[in-house]
Structures are given as structure tokens and as C-alpha cells.
Amino acid sequence: MSTLTITPPGLAKGKEYWVDIEVPYSKIVKKWKRKYKPRLHQHVKNGRLQKRVLSIYFKSMGRTDFPHERDDAIEVLENERKEWAINLCCQFEFSSGISTDTIRQFAEKGEEEIINIGLEDEYNQNIGNGDSNPNKDGLTALCQLAKPDLLREMLIHSRVSSRYPKSVYKRDSGGVPSINNWDDLIDTLSKNSVENYAVWHQFEHEGSRYIAIEQEDRDGVERQVGGNIEQEPANLIILHFEGPYLDIYTDNRSSANLTQSGVNRDISGEEYEEDRNTVTPSEVGDFAKNISEKDKERQEDDANLDYVLTDLHVSRTTLANNPELKLSSASGIGKSVEELRNLGYDLLSDPKHIDRLKIKFNGYTFTVTNSKRRTGTGDTYRELVYGCHAGSSIRKDFENLMEKEFQIDIKYQSSS
């Protein structure tokens, strides 16, 4: 059995730490007896608060007489270390807003630190080996106690994984930039805002680099993950570098553009810019016809394709009075397009009027739009752009699939 070697660093954390990672610490303390301690007991009743979580705290107290009943264990923990019971509650509040998969990823990343403080047995019990599933609350507790910054990383990664980036930039060559000093970029952001900015946290994970920047002077701002937001959440600007991509997550596109300019000037020495993937009308028409034909074959032959063409919007048709037309079916629309063509109504005859396609891929809907652009000189060009909720790795898979299957370049564009 492993022995605790040092007092876990996370047990020294208090209000400032928890507020910073969006847990309403002051409210938990103020409403401890009325709301939050009963919530822990409710977690016992619904099976969420398990012994393998509580054992982490009893080992930290040096207690070997672990109560048989978990409700009794909560009372013992509160009586001997009330601040630790509150810390446990904060861990539960935090983990409620983060997926089990994300928490497990970062627990595996922090395995060495968890083992080094003597919680190896508890790590093995909670990580989910053999017949047991990962316990997200136990893993959150282990990460926060052994390496508190892992919870910052979980929060950033979760936000990136579940939201649209405001803007995406790309460069033709070079890898993730080497980042040593962010002072110049922080100065750029601060000069163009009524707030001051500072790097909140930065880290690397699975070949990607994440940098989160937040507005300073936010003492007293308490944040809550999920729907129960009682005060305004802090405005984090998150930069996600992965290969040639720079995704920027922020509240508005102007902040994203300002950040991108600062990255080019102050950080990377490389030019990240929005690609101009020009296409001709004939290329758009060929793409729409080919993917429609593939979808028809999939429906007729029960072919195993990685994608389904679910929607088509055409702004002008050859029907009487040239109305717009929208086709939509979760099972695919390829056969419908073909049947209308056989009746003399070719929806794809004029590519300039093919406004939008929706393609289901890897569990996500990719909305592909035929966009006409205008340059600063008044010249026009055409692009195929798409929007989706998928992260950058799935977006790249989709782009690669479209290029391989149809020899067409399409580009992500935030829809917000």
C-alpha cells in the first residue's frame, strides 16, 4: 500500500484559486450547512460520491479507521478538517462542468505527480482499469491535490472542445511557434482595451499549445460552470496552436483579429492569416453534383460512406417562377436530387445558385456555403466555407476528406 509522502499541495488552496477556475467559493462557504453540505450527502444517495473518492481525504488525514458509511465519513471529515470538506465540495462543483474523458486525459498527464505524493493506490482505484469505469470526481480530486494547475488545463481544454472558435487562421509552413515571452502581445491588447490583460495559463497537450489570456482586476468575480451563472464570467481569450492552425476563442471577432495581429508581430515571426481558397463556379457545380451522386449511390447500394449529404439550399430553380428550394433529410438527399433531375428539374444546373450544403460527418453537421467575396479593390472571388461545432482535428479530417474525395478546398469560418 502506498504511503502519503507530503501534504498534498492542493489542500492549501482557498478562495482565490477556486474562483479563478469558475467555482463560487464564497457562496459555498456562506451556504455550507444549508445547501452544499447537504449536496455532498445527496451525492452519497445517488451513488456519485464513492468511497474511492473519500479515501483520498482519509489518507491525507493519516486516518486508517475509514467509516463504513459514507455519510459518516463526510461528518468525520468536516469535524476534523472543515476546510478540506469544503475543498472536496469545490472539486465536485468543478467536475460537474467537465467531461469524464477530459478529466481522465489530464489525470493520466498528472499520474507521476499523483504517485509522487503517495496516492498511487487511489489513482489506480479511480482511473478505471479492468472492470471499473473512471471516476471523474476522484480523478479531479487527485489532480487538484497533486498538481492544482491541471484543473486550469481541464477548463481551457473543455472550453476549446465544446465551442466554436471565433476565428481560425492558418499558415502554409512551420510548426507550433516557440513561445517564451508574451509581454509585447499583452501590451498590444491592453493598449486597445479599457482593461489590462495577463497570461492566465499556458500549457501543451497532445501536440497542441494552449494559451489563455484574461482581463486583470477581476477580484470578486465568481464564476460557475454550466447554467447557474450568478455573476458575469471572465473574458478569457484562448489561443490554440495545432500544426498550421491558430484557433482563437474570444467574445468578439475584433479581439480575435487584434490577437492574431499581435501573434504575427510579437510571437511567432510567421504570418497567420485567413486563407483565400478561391474556387470557380464550375468547381462548385462539380463538387455539388459529385457529392450528390455519391450520396445517391450510398442510399441505393447501402454503401458504407463516412458522410451523408443531408441538406441542399438552392436560391433559384427552373421550376415555374424560379423559386428557391430546400431539401432536407437525415437519411440523405442524393436520390431526391436525382429524381427531380429525371423530372426535368436540375437543381444543380447553375452553380451560382447553389447556396448551401449540409454534410454529416463523424457525428457533426458541416454547413458548406458557396460565398462570394469582395476584396478591398472591389474585385470579387468565390470560396466554399463551412461552419461546425467540431474541434480542429475533426475539421482537418473533414477538409482532407473533401480534398481526397472531390479535389475541392474548403475553409472553416466561424458562424458567430
Is the per-residue pLDDT at 229 higher than 60?
Answer: no
- Cell numbers 479563478 correspond to 20
Instruction: In whole angstroms, give the CA distance from residue 393 to residue 318.
Output: 40
Residue range 262-266: average pLDDT? 80
Percent of the chain residues past pLDDT 70, beyond the cut = 89
If one compares 295 and 188, the residue with the highest pLDDT of the two is 295
**In this structure, what C-alpha cell is assigned to residue 136?**
471523474
The pLDDT, as a whole number, for residue 109 is 96
Other beta carbons less than 10 A from residue 233's beta carbon: 14
Q: What is the mean pLDDT of residues 94-99?
A: 93
Phi-psi category of 130—alpha, beta or left, where left has phi over 0 and alpha has psi -120 to 50? left
Q: Is the pLDDT of residue 221 over 70?
A: no
Inter-CA distances, 75 with 69, 86, 142, 270, Å: 10, 12, 21, 58
Can you give the pTM of this predicted structure? 0.74
What contacts 23, CB < 8 A, 6 or more positions away? 90, 93, 94, 222, 223, 224, 225
Residues 87-110 have a mean pLDDT of 95
pLDDT of residue 1: 52
The 10s digit of each residue's pLDDT in 48-89 is 999 999 999 999 888 878 888 999 999 999 999 999 999 999
CA distance 123 to 109: 12
H-helix or E-strand spanning residue 78: helix 70-80
H-type alpha helices, 205-275: 253-262
Asked if residues 120 and 114 have their Cβ atoms less than 8 Å apart, the reply is yes
Q: Mean pLDDT over all residues of the chain?
A: 86
Grid coordinates standing for 26? 464564497
For cell 472531390, the residue is: 406
pLDDT of residue 78: 94
The pLDDT value given to residue 354 = 92
- What band does 390 get if pLDDT is binned at 50, 70 and 90? confident
Does residue 259 or residue 340 have the better pLDDT?
A: 340
Determine the pLDDT at residue 230.
Answer: 43
Domain residue extents for the chain: 9-158, 163-268, 281-412
Name the strands in the sheet holding 236-242, side by side, starting at the edge strand that comes first in the sequence.
167-170, 245-249, 236-242, 208-215, 197-205
170 CB contacts (<8 Å, ≥6 apart)? 244, 245, 246, 272, 273, 274, 275
Contact by Cβ (8 Å): 54, 77: yes
pLDDT at 39 over 70: yes
b/e string for 134-160 if b means 16 or more Cβ within 10 A?
bbbbbbbbbbbbbbbbbbbbbbbbbbb
Cβ atoms of residues 56 and 142 within 8 Å = yes
